[in-house]
Structure 1
Amino acid sequence: MKPTNRSAAAPLEWVKSSYSGNNGNCVEVAALPGGGRALRDSKDPSGPALAFTNAEFAAFVAAAREGEFGQA
Protein backbone atom coordinates (compact mmCIF):
# COMPACT_ATOMS: atom_id res chain seq x y z
CA MET A 1 0.00 0.00 0.00
CA LYS A 2 1.34 3.42 -0.94
CA PRO A 3 0.11 6.91 -0.10
CA THR A 4 -1.00 8.71 -3.22
CA ASN A 5 -1.14 12.41 -3.94
CA ARG A 6 -4.74 13.65 -4.21
CA SER A 7 -3.93 15.82 -7.23
CA ALA A 8 -2.81 12.70 -9.08
CA ALA A 9 -6.11 11.04 -8.14
CA ALA A 10 -8.30 13.96 -9.30
CA PRO A 11 -10.04 12.13 -12.17
CA LEU A 12 -11.03 9.17 -9.97
CA GLU A 13 -14.67 8.39 -9.23
CA TRP A 14 -14.95 8.07 -5.45
CA VAL A 15 -17.73 5.92 -3.98
CA LYS A 16 -19.06 5.57 -0.44
CA SER A 17 -20.53 2.32 0.84
CA SER A 18 -24.31 2.09 0.80
CA TYR A 19 -23.94 1.07 4.46
CA SER A 20 -22.46 4.48 5.35
CA GLY A 21 -24.59 6.86 7.31
CA ASN A 22 -24.66 10.64 7.06
CA ASN A 23 -22.35 11.22 10.03
CA GLY A 24 -19.33 12.10 7.86
CA ASN A 25 -17.17 9.25 9.18
CA CYS A 26 -16.83 7.37 5.94
CA VAL A 27 -14.14 5.78 3.84
CA GLU A 28 -14.43 6.21 0.08
CA VAL A 29 -12.97 3.88 -2.53
CA ALA A 30 -12.03 4.47 -6.18
CA ALA A 31 -10.81 2.15 -8.92
CA LEU A 32 -7.34 3.08 -10.13
CA PRO A 33 -6.39 3.21 -13.79
CA GLY A 34 -4.54 0.01 -14.60
CA GLY A 35 -5.98 -1.84 -11.59
CA GLY A 36 -6.02 -1.57 -7.86
CA ARG A 37 -8.03 0.65 -5.54
CA ALA A 38 -7.54 3.86 -3.61
CA LEU A 39 -9.07 4.70 -0.22
CA ARG A 40 -9.58 8.12 1.35
CA ASP A 41 -11.33 9.75 4.29
CA SER A 42 -14.57 11.39 3.16
CA LYS A 43 -14.02 14.23 5.67
CA ASP A 44 -10.84 15.23 3.82
CA PRO A 45 -11.47 14.68 0.09
CA SER A 46 -8.52 16.84 -0.94
CA GLY A 47 -6.20 15.04 1.48
CA PRO A 48 -4.08 11.95 0.92
CA ALA A 49 -5.37 8.61 -0.26
CA LEU A 50 -3.94 5.11 0.12
CA ALA A 51 -3.33 3.11 -3.05
CA PHE A 52 -3.59 -0.71 -3.04
CA THR A 53 -2.85 -3.30 -5.69
CA ASN A 54 -5.74 -5.67 -6.43
CA ALA A 55 -4.16 -8.35 -4.22
CA GLU A 56 -3.55 -5.93 -1.36
CA PHE A 57 -7.10 -4.62 -1.52
CA ALA A 58 -8.55 -8.14 -1.59
CA ALA A 59 -6.48 -9.04 1.50
CA PHE A 60 -7.62 -5.84 3.26
CA VAL A 61 -11.31 -6.54 2.54
CA ALA A 62 -10.96 -10.18 3.63
CA ALA A 63 -9.32 -9.13 6.90
CA ALA A 64 -12.03 -6.53 7.55
CA ARG A 65 -14.74 -9.14 6.96
CA GLU A 66 -13.04 -11.48 9.41
CA GLY A 67 -13.00 -8.73 12.09
CA GLU A 68 -9.21 -8.55 12.16
CA PHE A 69 -9.20 -4.80 12.81
CA GLY A 70 -11.74 -4.76 15.66
CA GLN A 71 -13.85 -1.74 16.44
CA ALA A 72 -12.54 1.74 17.14
Structure 2
Amino acid sequence: MKKIDEYVDYVYNNVEGSKEEIQELKMEMKTHLQELVLELKSEGVEEEKAILMAIERFGDENEIRSIVGLLSKKH
Protein backbone atom coordinates (compact mmCIF):
# COMPACT_ATOMS: atom_id res chain seq x y z
CA MET A 1 0.00 0.00 0.00
CA LYS A 2 2.47 2.51 -1.29
CA LYS A 3 -0.03 5.39 -1.26
CA ILE A 4 -0.51 4.98 2.49
CA ASP A 5 3.25 5.01 3.05
CA GLU A 6 3.57 8.16 0.93
CA TYR A 7 0.70 9.86 2.76
CA VAL A 8 2.12 9.11 6.20
CA ASP A 9 5.66 10.07 5.16
CA TYR A 10 4.36 13.39 3.82
CA VAL A 11 2.40 14.09 7.01
CA TYR A 12 5.47 13.47 9.17
CA ASN A 13 8.00 15.13 6.84
CA ASN A 14 10.20 17.55 8.84
CA VAL A 15 8.39 16.87 12.12
CA GLU A 16 10.67 17.55 15.04
CA GLY A 17 11.10 15.13 17.89
CA SER A 18 12.52 11.79 18.81
CA LYS A 19 13.05 9.56 15.77
CA GLU A 20 11.77 6.57 17.72
CA GLU A 21 8.63 8.41 18.78
CA ILE A 22 7.97 9.63 15.24
CA GLN A 23 8.46 6.11 13.86
CA GLU A 24 6.00 4.78 16.41
CA LEU A 25 3.42 7.43 15.50
CA LYS A 26 3.90 6.76 11.80
CA MET A 27 3.40 3.03 12.31
CA GLU A 28 0.26 3.69 14.32
CA MET A 29 -1.16 5.92 11.59
CA LYS A 30 -0.29 3.36 8.91
CA THR A 31 -1.93 0.61 10.93
CA HIS A 32 -5.14 2.59 11.30
CA LEU A 33 -5.22 3.36 7.59
CA GLN A 34 -4.51 -0.25 6.63
CA GLU A 35 -7.25 -1.50 8.95
CA LEU A 36 -9.71 0.92 7.36
CA VAL A 37 -8.67 -0.27 3.90
CA LEU A 38 -9.27 -3.89 4.93
CA GLU A 39 -12.67 -2.95 6.35
CA LEU A 40 -13.65 -1.18 3.13
CA LYS A 41 -12.41 -4.11 1.04
CA SER A 42 -14.52 -6.49 3.11
CA GLU A 43 -17.50 -4.31 2.18
CA GLY A 44 -16.71 -4.86 -1.50
CA VAL A 45 -14.70 -1.75 -2.30
CA GLU A 46 -11.78 -2.29 -4.69
CA GLU A 47 -8.35 -1.91 -3.06
CA GLU A 48 -7.24 1.25 -4.88
CA LYS A 49 -10.52 3.00 -4.14
CA ALA A 50 -10.43 1.75 -0.53
CA ILE A 51 -6.98 3.28 -0.07
CA LEU A 52 -8.12 6.63 -1.43
CA MET A 53 -11.26 6.54 0.73
CA ALA A 54 -9.25 5.69 3.86
CA ILE A 55 -6.86 8.58 3.26
CA GLU A 56 -9.76 10.92 2.54
CA ARG A 57 -11.50 9.91 5.75
CA PHE A 58 -8.31 10.45 7.72
CA GLY A 59 -8.03 14.01 6.53
CA ASP A 60 -6.41 16.41 4.14
CA GLU A 61 -2.63 15.92 4.05
CA ASN A 62 -1.85 19.57 4.76
CA GLU A 63 -4.38 19.83 7.58
CA ILE A 64 -3.11 16.67 9.29
CA ARG A 65 0.47 17.80 8.73
CA SER A 66 -0.26 21.12 10.45
CA ILE A 67 -1.82 19.34 13.43
CA VAL A 68 1.09 16.90 13.73
CA GLY A 69 3.55 19.80 13.49
CA LEU A 70 1.79 21.70 16.25
CA LEU A 71 1.68 18.66 18.50
CA SER A 72 5.36 17.92 18.01
CA LYS A 73 6.29 21.49 18.97
CA LYS A 74 4.33 21.20 22.22
CA HIS A 75 6.37 18.15 23.27
TM-score class normalised by the smaller sequence: 0.3 to 0.5
Q: Which has the higher strand share?
A: 1
Structure with larger Rg:
2
Higher RCO, 1 vs 2 (CA within 8 Å, ≥6 residues apart) = 2
Q: TM-score, normalised by structure 1?
A: 0.32
